[in-house]
Amino acid sequence: MKLPIPLPGTLSTLRSLDFGRRAEVKKIPQRMCVSCRERKNKSELVRVVLLPDGRIEVDPTGKMAGRGAYVCKNKECLDAAIKAHRIEKSLNGKADDMITERISEMIGRESERIGDPESGSGTGEEKTNRNGKPSSEEKILSFLGLANKAGQVVSGADAVSAASGKNTVFLFIASEDAAQGTVRLLTRISADKGIPLYRFSTKSRLGSKLGKRDRAVIAVTDKNFSTRLAELLNEHILNK
């Protein structure tokens, strides 16, 4: 019995199609929660990172440099991890008393972003929209606060100007009530170096979120933080 002879190129075509199908299957990265010890998709976990100075901070972007640890996005795992100091033991670092609140804020923001009706940051001080959810301004301010706690924000005209001279700035923010001379200076630096500049909020609100007095100008010195902030700021502008 004669076997059918394949048409020219058929086998190579089938092999290439099969390889293409296998290439399309992407492996989803997983990590282990330091609390429940279960392996889950990274998107289901919050990452905390050990900073160079030994402090432990929340990593909203999931891409900050440094050794990281993960905890599930639920109150039970978070409370257990904090109570047993599992995050600190995992990273051999020091977490301050506000780490729980900052992780909770991040979980609340993430839940609100995907439409979870039970979401919320738990601060009780946020401006909300008609649906009772944090306003776009408050979401930006909260994220800016996280970037600041991670040491990725400089503020004040002198500090911002110095940072831009070192080419370590990825995004500028000038308050809507900043002095015109300050805005002109920042606009010039922005144009010269190709750094995006946004007008946002007020001096008092920006300063308050950074734990300082009025701040008219802010610079973000981390690429991942600035990318996410730009997304939030663009959404805020479109929804005005």
In the structure, what pLDDT confidence band is assigned to residue 5 with cuts at 50, 70 and 90?
A: low
The most confident of the ranges 9-18, 22-31, 61-70 is 61-70
pLDDT at 125: 43
**Angle, alpha carbons 177-182-186 (nearest 5°):** 110
Say if 30-113 and 136-238 have the same CATH topology: no
Q: Residue 222 in contact with residue 133, Cβ under 8 Å?
A: no
Please, is 92 exposed, middle or buried when counting C-beta atoms within 10 Å of its C-beta (0-12, 13-18, 19+)? exposed
Tell whether the model's pLDDT for residue 59 goes beyond 80. Answer: yes
158-183 tens-digit pLDDT = 999 899 988 889 999 999 999 999 99
pLDDT at 134: 66
Virtual torsion, Cα 202, 204, 205, 209, nearest 10 deg? 140
Tell whether the model's pLDDT for residue 14 goes beyond 50. Answer: no
In the structure, what pLDDT confidence band is assigned to residue 39 with cuts at 50, 70 and 90?
A: very high
Q: Residue 106 in contact with residue 46, Cβ under 8 Å?
A: yes
Q: Of the CATH numbers 3.30.1230.10, 3.40.50.300, 3.30.360.10, 3.40.1190.20, which one belongs to the domain with range 30-113?
A: 3.30.1230.10
Q: Are strands 197-199 and 217-220 parallel, antiparallel or unpaired?
A: unpaired
Higher model confidence: residue 185 or residue 114?
A: 185
Region 17-37 average pLDDT: 71
Distances (CA, A) of 88 to 46, 63, 81, 152, 193: 15, 19, 9, 21, 39
Tokens of 145: 């606060």
Q: What is the percent of the chain where pLDDT is above 90?
A: 34
From 155, 150, 166, select the one nearest 228 (Cα to Cα): 150
Helix (H) or strand (E) holding 57: strand 56-58
pTM: 0.56
How crowded is the C-beta side of 147, counted as CA atoms within 13 Å? 27
Average per-residue pLDDT for the chain: 80
Per-domain residue ranges of the chain: 30-113, 136-238
Tell whether the model's pLDDT for residue 7 goes beyond 70. Answer: no
Domain 136-238, what architecture? Answer: 2-Layer Sandwich (3.30)
